[in-house]
Chains A and B, each alone.
Chain A
Amino acid sequence: EPEVTQTPSHQVTQMGQEVILRCVPISNHLYFYWYRQILGQKVEFLVSFYNNEISEKSEIFDDQFSVERPDGSNFTLKIRSTKLEDSAMYFCASSEARGQGAWEQYFGPGTRLTVT
């Protein structure tokens, strides 16, 4: 069964460093998302991406964040200058289409980001 994959599974970085989290969405899916979950808290939306551009973003997704689809399979989240409060699980998700009944989003296994 097709699945979303993410690398690395765990990333440790120092405050102020740049990190890139990578995702391979399900191959026939057109919509891509990043969510994060701080330990013990709810899953929060960061950004959605369609047709090579951001379609929606949350207030969390400020100028230190960026997303890119560098080729036909990968989808990346870059955090330019990490802060301690960026420590969280970051989940990539993808969905096949949009419209009523078509918003089923499938999540990858996540990348645990630890900022020290």
Chain B
Amino acid sequence: QKEVEQNSGPLSVPEGAIASLNCTYSDRGSQSFFWYRQYSGKSPELIMSIYSNGDKEDGRFTAQLNKASQYVSLLIRDSQPSDSATYLCAGNFGNEKLTFGTGTRLTIIP
């Protein structure tokens, strides 16, 4: 059973600071990972994808993947109140479906 684990939070970060979100997974097979943002009552919105070890940057977001240690992280720089949401980590383990974690609730404090 392939699992994706996240700390459910809540995680509170002051406005302008760096928010760090983490995710671990249980499978060592072929993996791709995705970070989705989900506002309350809304659908998951894809913000980052990462397929290879290392860092991937897109604007204020940096995704990091370490396959040896089986973790994925998302850094949000210069956090804004609009970043307050639940962040979902999802993995694709060589088949077609995404396996989601429970999500981490992030609150940015003005």
Contact = CB atoms under 8 A, between A and B. Distances in A.
B103 A42 contact: yes
Q: Which size class do B's interface residues fall under?
A: 20 to 34
B43 interface: yes
Interface stretch (A12-20, A67-75, A79-87, A105-113): A105-113
Contacts of B73: none
Contact of A45 (B36, B44, B49, B98): B98
Contact of A106 (B46, B51, B96): B46
A104 B34 contact: yes
Contact of B97 (A33, A42, A107): A33
Interface in B25-64: 30, 32, 34, 36, 42-46, 49, 51
Interface of B: 30, 32, 34, 36, 42-46, 49, 51, 88, 90, 92, 95-103
